């Protein structure tokens, strides 16, 4: 078995390779002056008949990386890889899992269909936007890793402002409510779900009124991702009218587009916590060991 990774994710790819006892090879990432990308593997002969784990973060620069990923899969097909396990930590296009407006593309299904046509056997991803729709649309096997519990454990062990009784977990929208409820139960704290309304034409979001939140010193807003920070900032502003002394935010994927962190801190957050599925300065959990554990658990290791 070999692990392949593009040059831009070399250190994480090599770390996963070391943890599962596999040799790591790099996929060159070249961009031509006209913007086209080109993938190249140095020792293609080593692919033949081998099981390949392809570690491929498709964020940032998503569209170029997706094309480069498809080129890499084309190379693996040409040189007869035996079995392909693709790891995309933050799965691109996951949020477009419905035709929200008439005439839109169902991008997630399109991407999964192409990966299937390119002979991907197994896809591993971390906290996809919706595990259910991901499984519904993929024609190959999918394994997901949830890092909510380790993330919240780490967060709670590093803050001293409150006891469990003083803490409330908050879902910033109904879509995340089930996850937050489960997490609150397993950590023995209360929870509340806010109801976010997003205008599909303008992208603007607002909140529906929820019953008063009383008697909590620390609120933890939990979501799968922070993109522009609009959701977190608005949720914090909404919660500011209640007497919650500290509000923290925790999300698996910290994209933090256009200085989202500034928006979140100026709304009143006491901290941002997340993982390194996407490179960012606020991660407290590194994903490589969790990915290696998952690979070992499903029998993919040397």
Q: Which residue has the tokens 């060991």?
A: 289
Position among 44, 60, 77, 175 found at the interface with ligand R5P (CB under 6 A): 175
* Residues 56 and 49: beta-carbon distance below 8 Å: no
Smallest CA-to-CA distance from 191 within 204, 205, 210 is with 210
CB 148 to ligand R5P: min, Å: 13
Residue 274 interacting with ligand R5P (CB under 6 A): no
CB 130 to ligand R5P: min, Å: 9
Residue 223 interacting with ligand R5P (CB under 6 A): yes
Give whichever of 15 and 129 is closer to ligand R5P, judged by the CB atom.
129
Angle at 134 between CA 281 and CA 272, to 5 degrees: 20
Give whichever of 82 and 204 is closer to ligand R5P, judged by the CB atom.
204
Give me 194's structure tokens: 């806010």
Q: Where does this chain touch ligand R5P (CB under 6 A) — which range of 31-39, 102-110, 219-227, 287-295?
A: 219-227
Smallest CA-to-CA distance from 233 within 259, 213, 209, 215 is with 259
Q: Which residue has the tokens 């008949």?
A: 49
Site for ligand R5P in 77-116 (CB under 6 A): none
CB 55 to ligand R5P: min, Å: 24
Position among 10, 46, 51, 227 found at the interface with ligand R5P (CB under 6 A): 227
CB 228 to ligand R5P: min, Å: 3
Instruction: Give the DSSP letter string of 60-92.
Output: SSHHHHHHHHHHHHHHHHHTT-SEEEEEESS-T
* Residues 115 and 73: beta-carbon distance below 8 Å: yes
Residues that bind ligand R5P (CB under 6 A): 172-173, 175-176, 223-231
């Amino acid at each position: 078995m070999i692990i392949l990774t593009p040059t831009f994710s070399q250190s994480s790819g090599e770390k996963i390779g070391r943890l599962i006892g596999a040799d790591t090879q790099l996929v060159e990432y070249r961009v031509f002056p006209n913007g086209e990308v080109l993938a190249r593997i140095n020792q293609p002969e080593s692919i033949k008949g081998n099981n390949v784990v392809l570690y491929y973060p498709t964020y940032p620069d998503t569209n170029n990386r997706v094309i480069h990923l498809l080129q890499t899969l084309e190379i693996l097909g040409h040189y007869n890889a035996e079995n392909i396990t693709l790891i995309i930590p933050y799965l691109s296009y996951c949020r477009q899992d419905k035709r929200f407006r008439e005439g839109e593309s169902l991008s997630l299904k399109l991407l999964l269909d192409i990966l299937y046509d390119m002979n991907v056997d197994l896809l591993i991803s971390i906290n996809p936007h919706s595990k259910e729709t991901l499984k519904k649309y993929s024609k190959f096997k999918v394994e997901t890793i949830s890092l909510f519990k380790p993330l919240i454990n780490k967060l709670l062990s590093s803050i001293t402002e409150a006891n469990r009784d003083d803490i409330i977990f908050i879902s910033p929208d109904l879509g995340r409510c089930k996850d937050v409820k489960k997490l609150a139960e397993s950590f023995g704290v209360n929870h509340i779900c806010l109801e976010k309304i997003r205008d599909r034409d303008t992208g603007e979001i607002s909140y529906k009124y929820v019953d008063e939140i009383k008697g909590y010193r620390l609120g933890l807003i939990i979501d799968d991702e922070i993109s522009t920070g609009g959701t977190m900032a608005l949720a914090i502003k909404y919660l500011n009218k209640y007497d919650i002394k500290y509000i923290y935010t925790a999300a698996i994927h910290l994209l933090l587009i256009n200085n989202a962190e500034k928006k979140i801190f100026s709304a009143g957050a006491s901290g941002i916590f997340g993982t390194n599925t996407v490179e960012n300065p606020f991660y407290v959990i590194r994903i490589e060991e969790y990915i290696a554990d998952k690979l070992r658990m499903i029998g993919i290791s040397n």
